Structure 1
């Protein structure tokens, strides 16, 4: 019988430790997957670095990780889309409230995935290429399609949807070169909308290749006025704010263009300055005060302009129709025929679970327009 191994977070703010783990068993509508590639996300870094600032319900020792790709080795009752031997990419939700935290954590050799949060991998794509998708594409879909966020119509590959781009209006994705932004551009275009986005100049052509019609430099002090001018005459149906500091300019742009909804996918300030230790500190107090002030100012501005600005929790799609639309209806076909590109590009930083901590350290140091991947 095979044995399981995990990269454990033994306690708050500790480095990951590789060690034995119980072999998980899939329940109804679940499957057991032999993991072949893992990607790291800012959520993993924040949880490791700040302790219980986020995911307070997650007990220690913990298994973090959301992005996995691998081979199905077993399925639970009710699973009909997958069978042992299938290559799949999926969203591991072990960090979420009410889930089996150890069985469903991504940083291990064998993981339980919900069958409705997974998609088959086309033969032409590697595990390393597709593993960049799960959390990012789920967060993008939640922001764009859930009724409490931008509430866009679902993607439709028919020719009539492509012709409807001008009629359905424009979606702005602030932070297009991010993992969430790169997927949001593609999903918004697939739902029949024109897309405007922001990115550094060296990423502009990549944004256009993903489906953006208008691209601006987010670092330009006049970027809001530039986008407002570029979108004059467009019906802007919503703005997705991705990246630290994106909320306030996104609300300002919504006010200037008449958009009534802003989906906030990132905190107002970076948690990178927080010390990696518990207890009070001046840096922690300063960060939290800036977070509270910036969030309050953003909400006040949104209310003044009658804009509905809400924070996005990417896993909420597993409780509604958006999850099924994305993982069962749209993504399998879109990956198979190349309509959805695996973006941003994967960078493999190492092999084996021992390399997950290396990837997290690299992520904390700063990564642009790439996704850090570990191969198992």
Structure 2
């Protein structure tokens, strides 16, 4: 390939990204090579930059969310993809350490396991925010709560048929909003918390109850009142603050179990490691690592991406991606986007840069 591969590279841990030129990566047998149109920025990218998490050596390309056009296809991938296909994907450089498998560059390699075709009615920008959070939502439900994937031969913990309540604390964020939608697709009744300005959007996405979390104690009581005699057994903390969110989610689960005399042990899934937190008794708590989608939970990748489910859900409006906000400057704007995430001023949207 004769085109230049411009990349935003991390020269050293804690340093700003720099633009450079790298060779165009080569896809493996089960990979596709994507010419990036839009890449999104995730909070974990800031963690990798500042603390060297999953950065085996520098200089290093980072980034996971990519949307663009297939320009190269591995031998095994050719049964599913062809040059010219429009796709969304999660690159797996976070797990492999391979610079070619990261998204902050013009050309990126992604495994077909976490690649899906972009529906014709979607622009690259509209599809740019969905891949990482769809992966995370799938891992939350199938790995965090250990529910069996629909249609799996072994149904160790089948999805319940009685529309149980699943609470998503922090539903306005990218992970929270897509978890709400996937949970609704899978048959759950969803309760969530968010700032009031997000109420209408989250109800449209499928949340039955949306409660303002600015007064967390009041939010607990409102959620319990809304549930009535229905137990709240399952909860996801999509914010994961050891002081301001986790204790209140625990409180809801334990109070609900007591009020409804539920015999089912409440389950809390969280998406950040909280090694110093002293968990309350009477519930289970599970930290999920989304990189398991490329190892022991490849079945989740098959169900979300390779089956065509994500493509269909997008096309049918069953999953609406988080809103995208473009940070100008192309790949050169990535550092500005990372700085904004560091500052904590991003709510209810994902920052993206347009590459092509």
Question: TM-score scaled to structure 1, two decimals?
Answer: 0.84
What residue in structure 1 maps to residue 70 of structure 2? 72
What residue in structure 2 maps to residue 44 of structure 1? 45
Residue pair 2:240, 2:271 contacting (<8 A) in 1 also: no
Task: Tell me how far apart the structure 2 counterparts of residues 210 and 58 of structure 1 sit (CA, whole Å).
Answer: 39
Task: Tell me how far apart the structure 1 counterparts of residues 167 and 180 of structure 2 sit (CA, whole Å).
Answer: 9
Tell me, which stretches of 5 or more residues in structure 1 are unaligned? 157-163, 269-290
Report the 3-state secondary structure (helix = DSSP H, G, I; strand = E; otherwise coil) of the residue aligned with 1:28.
coil
What residue in structure 1 maps to residue 28 of structure 2? 27
Report deviation, 1:168. Answer: 3.1
Report the 3-state secondary structure (helix = DSSP H, G, I; strand = E; otherwise coil) of the residue aligned with 1:6.
strand
Task: Tell me how far apart the structure 1 counterparts of residues 178 and 150 of structure 2 sit (CA, whole Å).
Answer: 13
Report deviation, 1:100. Answer: 4.5
Q: Is residue 218 of structure 2 the alignment partner of residue 242 of structure 1? A: no
What residue in structure 2 maps to residue 229 of structure 1? 225
Q: Could you report, residue by residue, the CA deviation over 1:187-235 in whole angstroms, capped at 9, with x for unpaired residues?
A: 0000011000000011111110100001111111321122122112224
What residue in structure 1 maps to residue 155 of structure 2? none
Report the 3-state secondary structure (helix = DSSP H, G, I; strand = E; otherwise coil) of the residue aligned with 1:197.
strand
Q: Could you report, residue by residue, the CA deviation over 1:27-74 in whole angstroms, capped at 9, with x for unpaired residues?
A: 11101110000110111112212x23x32x521111110111000001
Root mean square deviation, CA, Å = 1.8
Matches within 5 A, 1:191-202: 191-202=186-197
Which consecutive segments of 4 or more residues in structure 1 shift more than 6 A?
A: none
Report deviation, 1:153. Answer: 5.1
Task: Tell me how far apart the structure 1 counterparts of residues 56 and 192 of structure 2 sit (CA, whole Å).
Answer: 35
Instruction: Decide which of 48, 59, 62 is 1:61's aligned counterpart.
Output: 59
Q: Is residue 268 of structure 2 the alignment partner of residue 262 of structure 1? A: yes
Are residues 118 and 127 of structure 1, via their aligned partners in 2, closer, same or farther at CA, if it must alter by over 3 Å? same
Report deviation, 1:324. Answer: 0.8
Are residues 309 and 256 of structure 1, via their aligned partners in 2, closer, same or farther at CA, if it must alter by over 3 Å? same
Report deviation, 1:155. Answer: 6.5
Task: Tell me how far apart the structure 2 counterparts of residues 139 and 339 of structure 1 sit (CA, whole Å).
Answer: 17
Matches within 5 A, 1:1-376: 1-49=2-50, 51-52=51-52, 54-55=53-54, 57-79=55-77, 80-96=79-95, 99-146=96-143, 149-152=144-147, 154=149, 167-220=162-215, 221-245=217-241, 246-258=245-257, 260-266=266-272, 292=276, 295=277, 297=278, 299=279, 301=280, 304-305=281-282, 307-319=283-295, 320=297, 321-329=299-307, 330-343=309-322, 345-365=323-343, 366-376=345-355
Task: Tell me how far apart the structure 2 counterparts of residues 5 and 359 of structure 1 sit (CA, whole Å).
Answer: 18
Report deviation, 1:150. Answer: 1.3
Task: Tell me how far apart the structure 1 counterparts of residues 266 and 294 of structure 2 sit (CA, whole Å).
Answer: 26
Task: Tell me how far apart the structure 2 counterparts of residues 66 and 155 of structure 1 sit (CA, whole Å).
Answer: 27
Task: Tell me how far apart the structure 1 counterparts of residues 45 and 269 of structure 2 sit (CA, whole Å).
Answer: 22
Q: Could you report, residue by residue, the CA deviation over 1:67-122 in whole angstroms, capped at 9, with x for unpaired residues?
A: 110000011121122110000000012122xx142010110000000011011111
Q: Could you report, residue by residue, the CA deviation over 1:278-328 in whole angstroms, capped at 9, with x for unpaired residues?
A: xxxxxxxxxxxxx72xx2x2x2x0xx11x1101111221233211111112
Residue pair 2:9, 2:17 contacting (<8 A) in 1 also: yes
Report the 3-state secondary structure (helix = DSSP H, G, I; strand = E; otherwise coil) of the residue aligned with 1:95.
helix
Residue pair 1:152, 1:191 contacting (<8 A) in 2 also: no
Question: TM-score scaled to structure 2, two decimals?
Answer: 0.88
Report the 3-state secondary structure (helix = DSSP H, G, I; strand = E; otherwise coil) of the residue aligned with 1:70.
strand
Tell me, which stretches of 5 or more residues in structure 2 are unaligned? 152-158, 258-264
